[in-house]
Amino acid sequence: MNLPDFDYYIPASLQDACALLAEKGPGAKVLAGGTDLLNKMKHELMAPEVLISLKKLDQLTSIDYVSGKGVVIGSMATHNAISNSSLLQEKYLSVCEAAQHMANNQVRNVGTIGGNIVNAVPSADLPPIFIALGALLTLVSTNGERVMPLEEFFTGPGKTHLAPDELLTGIVIPDNSFTGSTYIKFGLRRSGALAVVGVAVAVEMDRNICKDARIALGAVAPVPMRAKKAEAMMIGNAITDELLEQVGVCASTECNPISDIRGSEEYRRDMVRVFTKRALRKAINNGHV
Amino acid sequence: MSDNYTQIGKSVPRIDAFEKVTGQAKYTADIKFSNMLVGKLLLSPHAHARIISIDTSEAEKLPGVKAVITHKDVPSKRYGLSPARWDENIFCIDKVRYIGDKVAAVAAIDEETVYKALKLIKVDYEVLPAVFDAFEAMKEGAPQIFEEYPGNINTEIHQNFGDLDQAFKDAYYVRTDRYDGQRTYQCPLEPHATIAYWEGSKVTVYSSIQSVHYLQYYLSQVLDLKMGDVRVLKTYIGGGFGGKMDPSGLDFGAVILAKKTGRPVKMWFDREDMFFNNRGRHPQFMNITTGVTKEGKILGVHADFVMDGGAYTGLGIASAYYAGALLTILYDFENYKFDMLRVVTNLPGCGAQRGHGQPQPRYAFESHLDNIAEHLGIDPLEMRIINARKPGTLTVQGFRVDSYGLKEAMEKAREISGWRDKKGKLPQGRGIGMGNGGFVSGAGYAIYRTDLPHSVATIKVTDDGTSAILYTGAVEIGQGSDTVLCQMAAEAMGYRYEDMKIVAADTDLAAHDLGAYASRQTLMSGAAVKQAGEDVNKKILDTAAEIMGVSNEELDCRDGIVFVKSNPEITKTFAEVARTYFVKNGQLIGRGSYKPPKLGGVHKGSAVGTSPAYSAATQVAEVVIDEETGEIEVIEAWDVHDCGYVINPALLHGQVHGAFYMGMGEAIWEEVLFDKNGKLMNGNLAEYRLPTALDMPPVASELVDTVDPNAPWGVKEVGEGATTPTMGCISNAVYDAIGVRVKSLPFTYEKIWRAIKEKK
Ligand SMILES: Cc1cc2nc3c(=O)[nH]c(=O)nc-3n(C[C@H](O)[C@H](O)[C@H](O)COP(=O)(O)OP(=O)(O)OC[C@H]3O[C@@H](n4cnc5c(N)ncnc54)[C@H](O)[C@@H]3O)c2cc1C
């Protein structure tokens, strides 16, 4: 395996990066950690003529709380930076856990949240938890900035609403009243396995009554998806094991998985049932975990 | 007895530990020669196609390309293991037979140029129908992959010992079960690499290979060179497990490209190439029938198997024989029938993977025995104890088994695993299972017909006696043979391991040896080393006797000190005696040579399965199954091994852990997958799921003591035997946990989930 030829730029500012991206057109690709992109290029699935590295844009690696806005994570924050962030550990341990349980340490050291989102693989581990928490994306181009809910960003496997001249600069988890959230990745070994099913949930509980619930599923549809009917079954109701089982069953009918080498459609559906139930129970009982 | 030894029976540090942990060790792909070119193979994109033409002209014109070779540039002689099944060419001539088959090779000044050149080679193919399933391949009208294998049957074995029909008539219970194995790949950490360069008519080949001797032999045979003109050596090797036994396209390719260009050429596989080269485990489809008495005594067994060999044979013929040959070792029964069809398909060729043909049949047989025990209402461990082979017996095919501690191994495993408190008594979803296994300690016959010794060793004591060098052809591939053989040499000499050096696996500089396969080196290379050490020891004692004015019978030498047995205060150092020997007689050299005695019966295929000594092993595993998801966790495992006298306990237990790990991977996770067009789907370490450290349970590794009379110090094998019980053991644990049998490997979470669902 060998990388094809390409031109390589390392812009020193966000403006330069946007300008370059606009100038070079659709033949250009943004390079973050490269764990997806370079792999695809080596396998000849993609042959961009230009790579624009974001590695000099230090401002994109920060993870901060901005009051009135929420937690802002730069698109170049690596998985390990996310899982080690004391801010996130305190507010949303569930996000740290999701980052901690993907790939392997080497990949987590270089792979970024921006890459994980823009790459738009149905089984990607970070989108579900961020969708459950209602995250917003900040997209920047020479024409300015726009904000889009992560949930609406994906249009199909490998496809998003990102314009060819646009950069993802940050992900915001807006302030919210969720009392608990979690992401359960079900892979076919303890570590280094892609998700067969990924279930993220966020819940707002008032004692035993569910005031709000969001269920986001990964790896069971062309894009990460919400199980809205299942969510509706929860809201306003007292939580019992029977109800959670029914919610799981509902989510399993809502999703739209395919059969592939990691699992059949039938198996994936049933795993959605099991892990929706388990994730809800975990978030209800234990908070943001 | 072992108390008398000073160098063996001890966990001395590995002789290569420092180099490996500091990263100083150079593996073949790390080595550079000045002016060296790099080379790569062009592989077939079709599963079955006729080659109409190959046009290399564009590739040759690319600046930086130094040579492009196809079948036209290389000898057309076929190679393989048994002459009737020499079916592989260096490059395909008329047809390609699987996606990944070898078509051409390029050498160029750098990697980038090589890849560009490969794209410029134009091959015109006429695509042919292909077949990817052994049973489909045998059907009428299936695509014929080789003219010489009608019906795509490449090997047919029918062996019949005793009177099976009568045994089944006499039996209280006769049962048939069918189990299916899968295709797995060894996945050694180090990808194969080869470097070749020529000096005049002589070629030097660095290869990541398990036997320098066989590679030297193959290269000389296929390329029509004098063996003496071919030097094969290796540096460090990062694992083989059978996948680096057959010569690969890299070995032939590098030698020929180096000849053509007059420059050193380095070639290597990337991870996916390794899956194409394969030589991993054959999938076997196993019908097994056993007749037993009411008490559970086995009267007779019929093993009726089919194996998918992929496109070429290589070592696969031996795999086919091994599948049945070793089923008779563990349990003593007098009637046995073994039928095997090895079928060719349009997939990468299979070969010898740790345990050779045996682990899948063991999985089938050990699962089958548990079914029988359950039917009879007998504890499966107790039923195996009734049947366990006794030492000093002959198998039904005529293999002599001298030391044999299977019964003791089972008894010990029963104790340390808490079997009696657990079997059948664990809560739903949790289970315990056992399986037995074992292996040959070296094959009784060489891979090709030869009367050469199997192992030769030479020891040279350096001039002043402060170090000694062991020369051996044994191949250190990570298993620790360099360390163990140096311990053995030091023990036999009366010397110190710390003062040993080794020159190994170099057909010019070291001594002859058949190499690292069939778990042979501890016993066979060890036998030659022991002799060589004793030869040195004798010369030391004779010389010391002269210096000290006593008779040599009065002297002994240990740990580098010669002493008078009756008065150990009177000493000379080994070094000063060695120096005196050198001054008087010239270089102090010891020699040893080993060839197994004639072994085995007279039936067709009787050579496979013969060995001077057989190991035995019992494994017990405890599993927890998530009954909603089918996820299986092996939470603890116990292995009790009869591997004769142990030279280095740390290395031995390392082998047991590694073997269990590998067997567990094959039991639960690993399977090479292809799509319906024969395209490899998971030739990478993300989707070919080897277990990770987090998946590995604690393993208790224990021993039973036996000392084999046919082996140096009574040693036996451990490397392969310890992987043979694992799949059966986990199969039985899964059954114990969920009460339903998964009848094919691997026991994926989804298969377990489905089995539980279907039971409900
Ligand atoms: C061994 C291995 C294991 C893996 N395991 C997992 C796993 O368990 N779970 C999982 O979800 N993923 C896994 N991955 C996939 C991958 O590591 C992640 O998706 C990672 O987050 C990608 O980030 P990156 O920075 O490397 O992206 P890159 O490869 O640099 O980029 C990916 C894509 O996103 C675009 N891009 C990146 N950043 C931006 C930006 N700021 N603006 C616009 N476009 C951008 C690139 O142009 C490219 O198209 C694994 C990968 C490997 C190699």
Nearest CA distance, B443 vs chain A (angstrom):
36
Listed residues B535, B560, B594: the one ending a domain: B594
Q: Is residue B151 part of a domain?
A: no
- For residues B478 and B439, membership in a common domain is answered with no
| B687 contacts A267? CB cut-off 8 A | no
User: Which residue reads 């396969």 in tokens?
Assistant: B517
Residue B522 per-residue DSSP state: I
Q: Does domain A60-174 have CATH number 3.20.20.70?
A: no
**CA distance linking residue B604 with residue A278, whole number of Å:** 59
Atom of ligand 1 nearest to the CA of A40: 29
Query: Which pLDDT does position A1 carry in this prediction?
Result: 79
Question: Cα separations (Å) of B514 from A249, B247, B452, B473, B595?
Answer: 61, 14, 10, 7, 11
Quick check: B346 and B48 in contact, CB under 8 A?
Answer: yes
Q: Which residues of A touch B753 (CB under 8 A)?
A: 267, 270
Q: At what angle do helices B481-493 and B526-548 cross, to 10 degrees?
A: 30
Residue B138, pLDDT above cutoff 90: yes
Residue B82, pLDDT above cutoff 90: no
| A190 contacts B695? CB cut-off 8 A | yes
Tokens of B344: 């060719």
Instruction: State in words which class domain A7-53 has.
Output: alpha beta
- For residues B428 and B341, membership in a common domain is answered with yes
Atom of ligand 1 nearest to the CA of A106: 1
- For residues B547 and B587, membership in a common domain is answered with yes
Q: How many residues does chain A have?
A: 289
Share of chain B above pLDDT 70, in %: 100
Query: Which pLDDT does position B3 carry in this prediction?
Result: 61
The protein residue whose alpha carbon is closest to atom 21 in ligand 1 is A116
Q: Which residues of B touch A197 (CB under 8 A)?
A: none
Residue B2, pLDDT above cutoff 50: no
- For residues B393 and B419, membership in a common domain is answered with yes
- For residues B617 and B741, membership in a common domain is answered with yes
Parallel, antiparallel, or unpaired for β B202-207 and B102-108? unpaired
E strands along chain A, which residues? Answer: 7-9, 28-31, 50-53, 63-66, 70-74, 136-141, 144-149, 154-156, 159-160, 167-174, 180-187, 195-206, 209-218, 225-226
**CA distance linking residue B495 with residue B536, whole number of Å:** 10
Cα four-point dihedral sign B239, B243, B245, B249: negative
- For residues B588 and B624, membership in a common domain is answered with no
Mutate to test the pocket of ligand 1, among A8, A10, A24, A35 (most ligand atoms within 8 A of CB): A35
- For residues B475 and B545, membership in a common domain is answered with yes
- For residues B623 and B739, membership in a common domain is answered with yes
How many structural domains does chain B have? 3
Q: Is residue B745 part of a domain?
A: yes
- In A, what residues contact B, Cβ < 8 A? 1-2, 186, 188-194, 261-264, 267, 270-271, 274
Is A168 close to ligand 1, i.e. is its CB under 6 Å away? yes
What tens-digit pLDDT sequence spans chain A (289 residues)?
A: 789 899 999 999 999 999 999 999 999 999 999 999 999 999 999 999 999 999 999 999 999 999 999 999 999 999 999 999 999 999 999 999 999 999 999 999 999 999 999 999 999 999 999 999 999 999 999 999 999 999 999 999 999 999 999 999 999 999 999 999 999 999 999 999 999 999 999 999 999 999 999 999 999 999 999 999 999 999 999 999 999 999 999 999 999 999 999 999 999 999 999 999 999 999 999 999 9
| A194 contacts B686? CB cut-off 8 A | yes
- Work out the pLDDT band at B140, boundaries 50, 70, 90: very high
Domains A7-53 and A180-286 share a fold: no
Average confidence score pLDDT of chain B: 97
Instruction: Read off the pLDDT of each residue in B653-670 and give the average, rounded to a whole number.
Output: 98
**Residue B461 — left, alpha, or beta (φ > 0 → left; ψ -120 to 50 → alpha)?**
beta
CATH, domain range A180-286: 3.30.390.50
Q: Is residue B150 part of a domain?
A: no
Interface-testing mutation among B692, B751, B752, with chain A (most A C-beta atoms within 10 A): B692
Domain range annotation of chain A: 7-53, 60-174, 180-286
User: Which residue reads 């109800």 in tokens?
Assistant: A243
Q: What is the CATH number of the domain that holds B61?
A: 3.90.1170.50
Dmax (CA) for chain B in angstroms is 86
Listed residues B574, B594, B614: the one ending a domain: B594
Tens-place pLDDT, residues B182-241: 999 999 999 999 999 999 999 999 999 999 999 999 999 999 999 999 999 999 999 999
- For residues B611 and B647, membership in a common domain is answered with yes
Interface-testing mutation among B118, B749, B754, B758, with chain A (most A C-beta atoms within 10 A): B749
**CA distance linking residue B174 with residue B375, whole number of Å:** 11
Tokens of B473: 């052809």
Nearest CA distance, B235 vs chain A (angstrom):
25
- For residues B322 and B341, membership in a common domain is answered with yes
Is A115 close to ligand 1, i.e. is its CB under 6 Å away? yes
Query: Which pLDDT does position B702 carry in this prediction?
Result: 97
Residue B1, pLDDT above cutoff 50: no
Q: What is the CATH number of the domain that holds B556?
A: 3.30.365.10
B295 interface with A at CB cutoff 8 Å:
no
Instruction: Read off the pLDDT of each residue in B670-690 and give the average, rounded to a whole number.
Output: 97
Q: Is residue B393 part of a domain?
A: yes
**CA distance linking residue B245 with residue B264, whole number of Å:** 23
Q: Is residue B143 part of a domain?
A: no
**Number of A:B CB contacts under 8 A?**
43
Residue B578 exposed, middle or buried by CB count within 10 Å (0-12, 13-18, 19+): buried
Amino acid identity at B286: M
- For B492, the domain range is 2-25+453-594
Query: Which pLDDT does position A34 carry in this prediction?
Result: 98
**CA distance linking residue A198 with residue A218, whole number of Å:** 5
Query: Of A129, A199, A140, whose CA–CA distance to A167 is shortest?
Result: A140
The protein residue whose alpha carbon is closest to atom 40 in ligand 1 is A168
Amino acid identity at B744: S
Tens-place pLDDT, residues B465-523: 999 999 999 999 999 999 999 999 999 999 999 999 999 999 999 999 999 999 999 99
**CA distance linking residue B711 with residue B615, whole number of Å:** 12
Nearest CA distance, B68 vs chain A (angstrom):
19
Tens-place pLDDT, residues B503-514: 999 999 999 999
- For residues B306 and B194, membership in a common domain is answered with no
Listed residues B229, B261, B277: the one ending a domain: B277
